[in-house]
Amino acid sequence: MEFKRDVWSLLLVLLLGQLVAFSMAASSFASSLIANLGVDAPLTQSFLAYLLLTLVYVPIVLRRRQKLQIAWYWYLALAFFDVQGNYLVVKAYQYSYITSVTLLDCWTVVWVVMLTWYALGTRYSLWQFVGAGTCVAGLALVLLSDAKSQDEQDPKKIPLLGDALVIAGTVGFAFSNVGEEYCVKKKDRVEVVAMLGLFGLLISTAQILVFERKGLEAVTWSPTMISLFAGFAVAIFVFYTVAPFVLKMSGATLFNLSLLTSDMWAVAIRVLFYQQEINRLYYLAFAVVAIGLIIYSLNDRSSDDETAGSTEAPAQYQQLPIEDNSTRIGSSSGKRLIGPRS
Partners of 338 in beta bridges: 326
Residue 90 lies in a domain: yes
pLDDT digit string (tens) for the chain, length 342 residues: 666 676 777 678 778 878 888 898 899 999 999 999 999 999 999 999 999 999 999 999 999 888 888 889 999 999 999 999 999 999 999 998 888 888 887 787 778 778 878 776 778 888 888 888 888 888 888 888 777 665 555 667 788 899 999 999 989 888 887 777 677 667 778 888 899 999 999 999 999 999 998 888 889 999 999 999 999 999 999 988 887 777 667 655 566 666 777 777 888 888 888 787 787 888 888 888 888 878 877 776 544 444 444 333 333 333 444 344 344 444 443 445 445 555
Residue 342 lies in a domain: no
Phi, psi of 90, deg, nearest 5: -65, -35
Phi, psi of 154, deg, nearest 5: -140, 105
Residue 66 lies in a domain: yes
Residue 319 lies in a domain: no
pTM: 0.78
Enclosing domain of residue 81: 1-307
Residue 31 lies in a domain: yes
Residue 339 lies in a domain: no
Work out how many domains the chain is built from and give that number.
1
The two counts, helices (H) then strands (E), for the chain are 12, 2
Residue 20 lies in a domain: yes
Torsion over CA: 51, 54, 57, 63 (sign)? negative
Residue 201 lies in a domain: yes
